[in-house]
Amino acid sequence: MIKHVFLTGQPGVGKSTLVQKACESLVSSGTTVEEGSPVPNTRHGWSISSHGAQEYTVGQYVVDLSSFENLVLPLFRNLDSGGSTKKVFVVDEFGKMELFSQSFIRAVRQTLDQSCCTVLGTIPVLKHKPLALVEEVRGRSDVKVFTITKENRDSILRLNVLPTVSKCLKQM
């Protein structure tokens, strides 16, 4: 039984835009949508200042793990506080930088295992160095992954993504 929906595709193909459009459609139909982003209705990267905390680098980017966890983990912890309302929790996108955090990895796994919500998220395409959690999510039997391309991005939301999310919510 499918409980969660993830979008994948090349960078810039429109995954985040489709997730935002899906959220707008779900909210207008009365579904509770909670975003794993510190500022609702925004699509910006995490803005975190480093003050001597342990840092990791990915290319030219620095990951301040402590600040990231302080910002993001409470969003996961507060998920189950909404009673019996059917919810969609948005996680847009987790990749190499976020996966330095073992607490984030545990939070994602716990959220996918819970029955309190359907996760709508984006994951990067499979690359030459697979990311363990991304491949774990991709391989879960309760996850449906749609590959977004320039050719299908205008129709896949209406034809596939929203119907699948709606079906997930009905099964909750």
CATH number of the CATH domain containing 19: 3.40.50.300
Cα separation values, 94 from 9, 45, 66, Å: 13, 11, 17
Mean pLDDT of 113-127: 89
Range of the domain at 79: 4-171
20 vs 92: CA distance, rounded Å: 10
User: Quick check: 68 and 98 in contact, CB under 8 A?
Assistant: yes
10-19, 38-47, 95-104: least confident range:
38-47
Q: How many domains does the chain have?
A: 1
Nearby residues of 7 by Cβ (< 8 Å), 6 or more positions away: 15, 18, 19, 121, 122, 123, 145, 146, 147, 148, 161
User: Quick check: 158 and 21 in contact, CB under 8 A?
Assistant: no
Query: For residue 41, what are its two tokens?
Result: 């209705």
* Predicted TM-score (pTM) of this structure: 0.86
Q: Residues 79-114: pLDDT tens digits?
A: 766 566 778 999 988 888 888 889 999 999 999 998
